[in-house]
Amino acid sequence: MADDAGSTPQTHPSRGPGAAFGVSGSEASHRKNPLMRLLDFAGPHKRLTILGCVLSAVNALLSIAMLVCVWFVVRDLVAVAPDWAAAQSAPLYGAGALGCALAGLIVYFCALMCTHLAAFRTATNMRKAALEHLAKVPLGFYSARSTGELRRIIEGSTGLTEGVLAHRIPDFVGALVTPIAYLAVLFVFDWVMGLVCLIPIAASAFCMFLMMGGGMKDKDGEGNSNAMSFMMNYQNALDRMNKAAVEYVRGIPVVKVFQQTVNSFRAFRESIAAYRDFATAYVKMCEAPQVAQLVAINATFFVLVPTGILLAYAAGDFGVFLTNFLFYVIFSALTTMMMSKVMYASQAVTEAQDAVGRIEGILGAPLMAEVPVEGAKVPADDSIEFDRVGFRYPGNDAWALDGVTLRIPAGATVALVGPSGGGKTTAASLVPRFWDACAGRVLVGGVDVRDISSDLLMERVAFVFQNDHLFKQSLADNIRAAKPTATRAEVERAAHAAQCDDIIEKMPQGLDTVVGTKGIYLSGGECQRIALARAILKDAPIIVLDEATAFADPENEALIQKALGTLTEGKTVLMIAHRLSTIVGADCIYVLDGGKLVESGTHDGLLESRGLYARMWADYQTSASWRIEGRGDGHAA
Ligand SMILES: Nc1ncnc2c1ncn2[C@@H]1O[C@H](COP(=O)(O)OP(=O)(O)OP(=O)(O)O)[C@@H](O)[C@H]1O
């Protein structure tokens, strides 16, 4: 391979996280703060989060104001006891306390409204960004990651950030504002008792600090705290278990046939054990500091009461001392709540950091290189050409295609045949750029496919896969996937041309029947005809067919062949078929073996040359006759 351009498809770095929301990838990734990175996804809704946090802080101040008012009521009542009627300002402070409480409720409600709106929008934007990005990455990305893992990132990680933005962040802000205001107020009345109340808070904060990893950097040197590194490992273990579970569920028919149990699936068993180990280790890591933290935060009375008793002896005015003491008793109840909020918020931030990192992992996956608009070229016609094409799958040293040169003139029908693993599917995949060639060029209409805008290329090429996927949507919508603007009449015409009339007739709601649910499923051959209707509706001038009749029974095959006739009429066709009878009439047959083009010519010409194709044809004929004999004498061959 002289001009090996590397073994991976040409790609370019994505614009990165938050790109769709006005933040460039590098800008976003250089920001270390996970919350800032998370808010990048909020777009204009970032302001709502900020407003929500401000309101949460106001609510915290109102809560303190309410308690101060309550304390004033108590002070006034104690001062005039038992002549309660003399406490003239008490009703005023009482009303103040009530007003603060009501205002606090309203403000907190508004705060949560703001943060919830922003949280839902942020999670939606994250999902959209990830899904949009996934549609543009090369197929190699999917070989390296399982659907279970991707699903968990898109659903799980984004869902997790919802809770963080909606509740934890405003609570965190409120919990941070509270001690500041608290400190100011604490020292107003009695600085000694204020100081004493701070001891449990400081002890609790220290335990929390230990719980979060004690500021130690992880061995990875990337600045992750122990807690962050633990969270990453924990989430990775969850991912592996998810991935193995999806594999296991998909393989359930095999499990049943070979009477296996979950324990015989090593990967699944090991992933469950790894998850258990991480979960246990996590609990153990948090055990001691969390117990200490809970003890510390609930120990306010433990330090406050003895201090109060000591100070009572030295107090000049016992009445004033008692009311001050009551203030600290009321206030200390707040500390438990406040520190719990701080603890949950810190934990949530660690989770959010991991979630944002995982979404960024998807968004950071390089995209298939797209030619700049000004450099994009338009194909002159609908011909296809392979010019010394070489291709290796990422992570695979062997050449799946090696120096393949072939030409399909516009309007011609060409077949790719060859032994299994010869490179037929790989060659066909290079035309619509599912992959890019590692060496040489693939040309459509004389233009390198990499120089054609992807929209134009997709307009020009229709690809019918071996096992085309039908979405859990109506048949009409499945067909319309090829052309969303198609009218009902166009969809019906395409379905009719693809010989789908019998399928539609037997469906309870005809074309509007949703497939894949409520026991409504199609056979392989029927799926293939719906996929052909899709391709007919698309009406692209270049058709790539990969094993179009692979799943068909004889009856379906006849219908499929008829549908293919309509689809391919006047088009450039590149066709892969194992049933050699379907390609006898092809204008040219290319034979691929071990990634190399070994023969080419018409059916008759290749038979005459007595090469690989002739041998494959002879084998095909023999196997076909075995089947016929087998049926005739009632024995399966
Ligand atoms: N996603 C992949 N990752 C790595 N290697 C792959 C991948 N897909 C195919 N290959 C390898 O590339 C080579 C060509 O495979 P390809 O599917 O193109 O052959 P094929 O001729 O279409 O085979 P078949 O007739 O069995 O479908 C094979 O050696 C195969 O193992």
CATH code where residue 76 lies: 1.20.1560.10
Contacts of 266 (CB under 8 A, 6+ apart): none
Q: Which residue has the higher pLDDT, 182 or 602?
A: 602
Q: Which residue has the higher pLDDT, 346 or 130?
A: 130
Is residue 327 domain-resident?
yes
Centre of ligand 1 from the C-alpha of residue 361, in Å: 27
Confidence of residue 144 (pLDDT cuts 50, 70, 90): low
pLDDT at 444 over 90: yes
Specify the residue with its C-alpha closest to ligand 1, atom 12.
400
Query: Does 197 lie in the same domain as 328?
Result: yes
Q: Are 422 and 402 in contact (CB under 8 A)?
A: no
564 CB near ligand 1 (under 6 Å): no
Q: Which residue has the higher pLDDT, 240 or 69?
A: 69
pLDDT for 98:
95
Distance (Å, whole) CA 279 – CA 20: 36
Is residue 276 domain-resident?
no
422 CB near ligand 1 (under 6 Å): yes
Query: For 528-541, what is the mean pLDDT?
Result: 89
Q: Which residue has the higher pLDDT, 401 or 372?
A: 401
Query: Does 120 lie in the same domain as 29?
Result: yes
Specify the residue with its C-alpha closest to ligand 1, atom 3.
393
Query: Does 486 lie in the same domain as 357?
Result: no
Closest ligand 1 atom to Cα of 395? 4
Closest ligand 1 atom to Cα of 423? 18
pLDDT for 605:
94
3-state secondary structure 157-178: HHHHHHHHHHHHHHHHHHHHHH
Distance (Å, whole) CA 185 – CA 180: 9
pLDDT for 70:
85
> Structural domain of residue 293, as residue ranges?
12-219+287-367
466 CB near ligand 1 (under 6 Å): no
Specify the residue with its C-alpha closest to ligand 1, atom 17.
425
89 CB near ligand 1 (under 6 Å): no
Query: Does 350 lie in the same domain as 499?
Result: no
Specify the residue with its C-alpha closest to ligand 1, atom 25.
420
424 CB near ligand 1 (under 6 Å): yes
Both tokens of 232, joined, read: 């990453």
Query: For 174-188, what is the mean pLDDT?
Result: 74
Specify the residue with its C-alpha closest to ligand 1, atom 5.
393
Phi and psi (nearest 5°) for 533? -60, -40
Percent of the chain with pLDDT over 90: 24
Q: Are 577 and 614 in contact (CB under 8 A)?
A: no
Q: Which of 396, 547, 589 to mutate to test the pocket of ligand 1 (most atoms within 8 A of CB)?
A: 396
Query: Does 344 lie in the same domain as 403?
Result: no
423 CB near ligand 1 (under 6 Å): yes
Is residue 257 domain-resident?
no
Q: Which residue has the higher pLDDT, 151 or 222?
A: 151
Query: For 317-342, what is the mean pLDDT?
Result: 74
340 CB near ligand 1 (under 6 Å): no
Q: Number of folded domains in the chain?
A: 2
426 CB near ligand 1 (under 6 Å): yes
Dump pLDDT digits (tens) for 483-497.
888 899 999 999 998
Among the candidates 341, 367, 393, a domain finishes at: 367
3-state secondary structure 468-537: CCCCCCEHHHHHHCCCCCCCHHHHHHHHHHCCCHHHHHHCCCHHHCECCCCCCCCCHHHHHHHHHHHHHH
Query: Does 413 lie in the same domain as 293?
Result: no
3-state secondary structure of 372: coil
Query: Does 356 lie in the same domain as 428?
Result: no
Beta strands in 400-446 (DSSP E): 401-408, 413-417, 439-444
418 CB near ligand 1 (under 6 Å): yes
Query: Does 353 lie in the same domain as 306?
Result: yes
pLDDT for 12:
38
Among the candidates 335, 367, 399, a domain finishes at: 367
Is residue 96 domain-resident?
yes
**Measuring CA to CA, how many Å separate 449 from each of 7, 370, 461?**
18, 10, 11
Specify the residue with its C-alpha closest to ligand 1, atom 24.
420
